[in-house]
Copies of this chain bind each other. A is one copy, B any other.
Amino acid sequence: MREAYYEQVENINADLVEVTRLVGSAMNRATQALLDADLKLAEAVIDFDAKVDLLTASIDERCFELIALQAPVATDLRVLLGAMRISSSLERMGDLAEHVAKQARMRHPKVSVPQEVRGTFAEMGGLAEAIVSKTGSVIATKDVSLCVDIARHDEEMDRLHRELFTIVLSSSWKYGVEEAIDVTLLSRFYERYADHAVSVSKRVVTIVTGEPYVAVSLIN
């Protein structure tokens, strides 16, 4: 019985890692669709989100069943409740990738992002991929030392987010209000994506260190 229990917990954990892979791929392809104004790719990312929703819903349901049937306590309970929170954050990261793809679709055939900031968005896309990939490793290995890298990536994402504000507000910004708004909202999607990754990694720390269960707030 106990062995079967831990096998199921292990499956849930493996699926959480799989979701990090899915939402990493979604954000990477969404960034590509954005930079290339690729309608087909944007639509593929939008459709793809249903897959993320399905897998996270299945994770939630299996956590619920395990708690109901096996009445875990202490760390075992913390692991399952933590998995439900992590699944919820990852699901939201999938939504944010979808938002980026929707923005690409909305402006198609125009490229939503002016030439001057393409590099910054390419960098944000790369950072998003790096941060979610390390988040997946934290979940898989429980190696919380990776959280240092994740925090560093997040700081870098915040820096790029602020940099974009400076660019669109500078007197040399030669585009209009619409482009400025597009850049601002898109930038916020990447920044929130990174925040959620940080939140997931903090959640794993809470589980591993066994500190009292308190809400690990998303960064404001």
A residues bordering B, Cβ < 8 Å? 53, 56-57, 60-61, 64, 67-69, 71, 73-74, 77-78, 81, 84-85, 87-88, 91-92, 95, 98-99, 102, 165, 168-169, 173, 177-178, 180-181, 184-185, 188, 212-215, 217-218, 220
- Within the complex, the shortest CB–CB distance from A178 to chain B, in Å, comes to 6
- Within the complex, the shortest CB–CB distance from A203 to chain B, in Å, comes to 11
- Within the complex, the shortest CB–CB distance from A61 to chain B, in Å, comes to 6
Q: Nearest chain-B residue to A179 (Cβ)? A: B177
Contacts of A217 in B (CB 8 A): 53, 91, 95
Q: Is the CB of A215 within 8 A of B177?
A: no
Sample 6 A-B pairs with CB under 8 A, ordered by A number. A60-B214, A61-B214, A92-B218, A95-B218, A169-B177, A184-B184
Tally of this chain's copies: 2
* Residue among B53, B69, B220 making CB contact with A95, cutoff 8 Å: B220
Chain A contact surface mostly: helix
- A173 and B184 in contact (CB under 8 A), knowing A95-B220, A212-B61? no
- Within the complex, the shortest CB–CB distance from A139 to chain B, in Å, comes to 18
Q: Is the CB of B81 within 8 A of A77?
A: no
Contacts of A168 in B (CB 8 A): 177, 181
- Within the complex, the shortest CB–CB distance from A66 to chain B, in Å, comes to 11
- A88 and B177 in contact (CB under 8 A), knowing A81-B64, A220-B98? no
Q: Nearest chain-B residue to A99 (Cβ)? A: B220
Contacts of A78 in B (CB 8 A): 64
Closest A-B pairs by Cβ, 10 of them = A71-B71, A64-B213, A177-B180, A57-B214, A68-B73, A57-B215, A181-B184, A60-B215, A68-B77, A169-B178
- Within the complex, the shortest CB–CB distance from A195 to chain B, in Å, comes to 11
Per the bound structure, the CA–CA distance linking A178 and B78 in Å amounts to 45
Q: Nearest chain-B residue to A102 (Cβ)? A: B220
* Residue among B56, B178, B184, B214 making CB contact with A215, cutoff 8 Å: B56
